Structure 1
Amino acid sequence: MYQYIKGIVEEISIDYIVVESFGIGYRINTSQNTICNLKEGEEVKIYTKLIVREDDMSICGFKTKEELRMFELLNSVSKIGPKVALGILSFVEPKKLGSFILSGDVKALSKAPGVGKKTAERIILELKDKIDKNNIEFNCVLRNDINRVSLEIEEVVQALVALGYSLSEAKEAVNKCNKNCLETEELIKKCLAYLMK
């Protein structure tokens, strides 16, 4: 239904953004990979996919066609829904993910949130012949340079809860403070400063 939405980034949250276009604010679920490449107030073009369920309709979107394509591939795998697909794309960039799949790297892929060994094997089995071999980074498999942004955010939330803050307070603080993909320790300090105001 929507090929893309072009507008101004009005809000950036942990797992979604709000883009205003012609007076309408679109809540778009997205990955940390996309979020880290956006800034509030900038004009963007977000490539989108409308997700329709029996009880809900939502939009998933990404800054690049490449990431949208990978999301669609992941979402086509049996037992993998939009939430898990977004979690995987928050964990590893599309080119690296393609290299994991083509090389059959179950160990690396199973480290993604919501993905165990069996799910990783199923992703590789179902997508190996669908990956664009000209658009991957094999060298990243050797470096095992995995994007752990989503895991680090979860660590920060858990750390704040351990310090006595409620889960909602912790999530709010991370939402407000994680604008530039900070390192874990730096983000914790910034969140504590926010919570103590």
Structure 2
Amino acid sequence: MISSISGIVKSISLNSVVVEVGGVGILIQVPNRVAISLSAGATASFHTYLVVREDALILFGFTDLIDRDFFELLLSVTGIGPKVAQAILSGSDSATIATAISTSNLKTLESFPGLGKKGAQRLVLELKDKVAGFASKNANKSLSLGNQVENALQGLGYSAKDAASMVSQVLSS
């Protein structure tokens, strides 16, 4: 499993980016709100999810770990595949979507591409009890920032245990 990728953004399209890592260009499918925020030539880091198909390997990337986790949660819903999950996350951030699910706001959920009335109802039915951790934007930002700092510390040579300990000490103070 490829968990994360960092490199230089070489090209950007509506739902994907090519990131050069060690001289190799890697195509990463991203929500369009992420693609819009990037610029060619800039360094970017993505938390990734690899989908293995009979005819393809597709890498989905997210700038926030919480969005990748929410993507995986969306995939657990019957009838929601990676393309629909990506389209849902293209429409809004995970906190807003989680709030719509927890409050059973079908109108908001139906507005996402690829998700009709039945799909929205299925999301609410299967995920209503599982989205509480995603609904709080402040918790998401702290978690996301903490994970980013942990990853940076690990990149500097600290062990995962030491990095987690340092981040938890800073966040608790």
TM class, shorter-chain normalised? 0.7 to 0.9
Cα drift, residue 33 of structure 1: 2.0
Is the counterpart of residue 88 in structure 1 residue 88 in structure 2? yes
Please list the CA deviations of residues 174-194 of structure 1 after superposition, one character each: whole Å capped at 9, or x if unmatched.
Answer: xxxxxxxxxxxxxxxxxxxxx
The match for 2:78 is 78
CA distance in 1, matches of 2:103, 2:71: 19
The alignment-based identity, stated in percent, is: 39
Please list the CA deviations of residues 157-190 of structure 1 after superposition, one character each: whole Å capped at 9, or x if unmatched.
Answer: xxxxxxxxxxxxxxxxxxxxxxxxxxxxxxxxxx
Label 1:52 to 1:134 Cα distance change in 2 as closer, same or farther (>3 A): closer
Question: Moved runs in structure 1, 4+ residues, more than 4 A?
Answer: none
CA distance in 2, matches of 1:46, 1:56: 20
Contact 2:96–2:135 (8 Å) recurs in 1: no
Cα drift, residue 37 of structure 1: 2.2
Name the Cα RMSD after superposition. Answer: 1.3
Q: Could you state the TM-score of these two structures normalised by the residue count of structure 2?
A: 0.75
Q: Could you state the TM-score of these two structures normalised by the residue count of structure 1?
A: 0.66
Give the SS at the match of 1:36: helix
Alignment of 1:1-197 (within 5 A): 1-133=1-133, 135-136=135-136
Give the SS at the match of 1:88: helix
Q: Which amino acid aligns with 1:90?
A: S
Task: Give 5+ residue unaligned stretches, structure 1.
Answer: 138-197
Label 1:23 to 1:134 Cα distance change in 2 as closer, same or farther (>3 A): closer
Label 1:134 to 1:96 Cα distance change in 2 as closer, same or farther (>3 A): closer
Give the SS at the match of 2:44: strand
Q: Which amino acid aligns with 1:92?
A: S
Please list the CA deviations of residues 34-70 of structure 1 after superposition, one character each: whole Å capped at 9, or x if unmatched.
Answer: 1122111111111000001122211000111111111
Please list the CA deviations of residues 113-165 of structure 1 after superposition, one character each: whole Å capped at 9, or x if unmatched.
Answer: 0111110010111111211446435xxxxxxxxxxxxxxxxxxxxxxxxxxxx
Give the SS at the match of 1:46: strand
Label 1:83 to 1:9 Cα distance change in 2 as closer, same or farther (>3 A): same
The range that moved more, 23-32 or 125-134, is 125-134
CA distance in 1, matches of 2:46, 2:114: 25
The match for 1:178 is none
Q: Which amino acid aligns with 1:35?
A: A
